[in-house]
Amino acid sequence: MIPSDAELTENGLDTQTPRGRILLIACGALAREIVDLKAANGWTHLDLTCLPAKYHLYPEKITDAVRATIAKHRGDYDDFFVVYADCGTGGSLQTACEELGVKMVAGPHCYSFFEGNDAFAAKTDDEFTSFYLTDFLVRQFDAFIIKPMGLDRHPELRDMYFGNYEKLIYQAQTDDPDLTEKARKCADRLGLKFERRLTGYGDLTTALKEL
């Protein structure tokens, strides 16, 4: 059973009794997507543990947390796969993975691998004024955007944060009209134009399929 989004944000997801051969160490923001992919593809060789999704806001915590998780489960699995891209770690996660002999998802962040790293890179010149949200971030918009940026207490700060952005692109992993409507409201709150783009799971599927 998948914990609530709030639980995934604060505490992540603990792995259950080891069953598979490979442990996926993922961002809590990807839990639902990975569980869905596992179920749809019958990937019983993969177990999942998630770090708190709130590390999205504190990327300096990710690398050490991944190291600690691998150390904790070293004897339980044949291999590990880190379901993070660089995600603001400035290359330190990649370096740690190389040291530990484990692989990770390619790309700069989840917005890129959901879109497909090559496709995302090709659009960079046109879209660097875009602010991205995924399904998880739309659901957790207040927890990840409004509250940590202090916009609930100081809405006047909005343009200091978002004044240079032009558009909010909602990268939809699932086709959910309610979520689309919520994403549109997020764009309104930030004073940005809105675009919805159905990406599905993009390169995440490819990366997990290869394991």
Interacting residues toward other proteins by CB under 8 A: 59, 86, 88-91, 108, 124-125, 128-129, 148-151, 153-154, 157, 160-161, 164-165
Are the C-beta atoms of residues 47 and 20 closer than 8 Å to each other? yes
Q: For residues 137 and 209, give the distance between their C-alpha atoms in angstroms, rounded to a whole number.
A: 24
Q: How far is the CB of 62 from other proteins (least distance, A)?
A: 12
Q: How far is the CB of 59 from other proteins (least distance, A)?
A: 8
Q: How far is the CB of 148 from other proteins (least distance, A)?
A: 8
Closest of 100, 27, 101, 103 to residue 58, by C-alpha: 27
Q: How far is the CB of 108 from other proteins (least distance, A)?
A: 5
Q: What is the DSSP string of 99-166?
A: HHT-EE--SSSHHHHHH-HHHHHHHHHHHTTEEEE-HHHHHTHIIIIITTTTTTT-GGGHHHHHTT--
Residue 28: other Cβ atoms inside 10 A: 25
